[in-house]
Amino acid sequence: MIKKRMICVIVLFVISLSGAQASDYTPFVKKAATIKTLKQLQAGGLVLYMRHGPTDTSRPDRVPRVDLNDCSTQRPLTEAGRAEAAAVGQALRQADIPIGTVLASPMCRARESAIAAFAEDPEINHDLMYTSNLTSQEKVPKIKTLRRLLSTPVAAGTNLVLVAHAPNLMDVMGYFVKPEATVVVFRPLGKQGFEYLGSIEPQQWQGLLDKLGE
């Protein structure tokens, strides 16, 4: 009888513990950027995480034989994707958002998106490498670097841009960025981490620009 009671107590404890852990988990909630977000970007001091432009999904990365020096081994950016990345860059300029350093993943689709958007070769950061094809151990330094980049204060009057991939941000904060060419805005908080301010999907730029001009 005593043994049965002990088993019941243990079961109830496990159930309550798992319930507490579940309630402690807060799922990511996406929010659209607003005019206030654009004005914050105009002042600078923020980080923009841009997912590369639309790609040809019928031509996946040739894992495990992806060659960073050979774009033919990687899922390619389409011409429409290049045009969309360029349109995002143009929208940022129209909104008078100052752009400082541009860092990009070494994957061709990210590098080409950065060039299309900002008309210059970005600084390649290998820790922004597409993480979906990596092992859990290989992901560790990539996740650490991305958290650091999102958290490190940026000087007023300029903004840091990271051009990378959806899985990377998923690994850091549970947010799989979509659609492609979406820009995600963060406020770096130093040792306190970072604050997610909002997302701007490609088709949302014109509406924001129109309101900004009112």
Averaged over 157-173, what is the pLDDT? 98
Averaged over 88-110, what is the pLDDT? 98
pLDDT over 70, % of the chain: 88
The per-residue pLDDT for 5 is: 55
178-206 as b/e, with b when 16 or more CB fall inside 10 Å? Answer: eebbbbbbbbbeeeeebebbbbbbbeebe
Predicted confidence (pLDDT) at residue 8 exceeds the cutoff of 60: no
> What is the average pLDDT score of the chain?
91
The per-residue pLDDT for 26 is: 75
The per-residue pLDDT for 214 is: 84
pLDDT bin (cut points 50, 70, 90) of residue 173 is: very high
pLDDT bin (cut points 50, 70, 90) of residue 25 is: low
Q: Are 49 and 110 in contact (CB under 8 A)?
A: no
**Which residues does 67 contact at the CB level (< 8 Å), separation at least 6?**
73
The one-letter code for the residue type at 172 is V
Averaged over 141-157, what is the pLDDT? 98
**pLDDT tens digits, 67-78:** 999 999 999 999
Q: Regarding predicted confidence, which is higher, 23 or 198?
A: 198
Predicted confidence (pLDDT) at residue 2 exceeds the cutoff of 80: no
Task: Spell out the domain ranges in the chain.
Answer: 30-212
Predicted confidence (pLDDT) at residue 11 exceeds the cutoff of 80: no
- Number of helices (H), then strands (E), in the chain: 7, 6
Averaged over 13-35, what is the pLDDT? 65
Topology annotation, domain 30-212: Rossmann fold (3.40.50)
Q: Dihedral angle at the C-alpha atoms of 12, 15, 17, 19, nearest 10 degrees?
A: -140
In order of 62, 63, 168, 184, the CA distances from 33 in angstroms are 35, 35, 21, 9
Predicted confidence (pLDDT) at residue 204 exceeds the cutoff of 90: yes
Predicted confidence (pLDDT) at residue 9 exceeds the cutoff of 50: no
Predicted confidence (pLDDT) at residue 142 exceeds the cutoff of 60: yes
pLDDT over 90, % of the chain: 86
The per-residue pLDDT for 213 is: 84
Averaged over 107-127, what is the pLDDT? 97
Averaged over 59-73, what is the pLDDT? 96
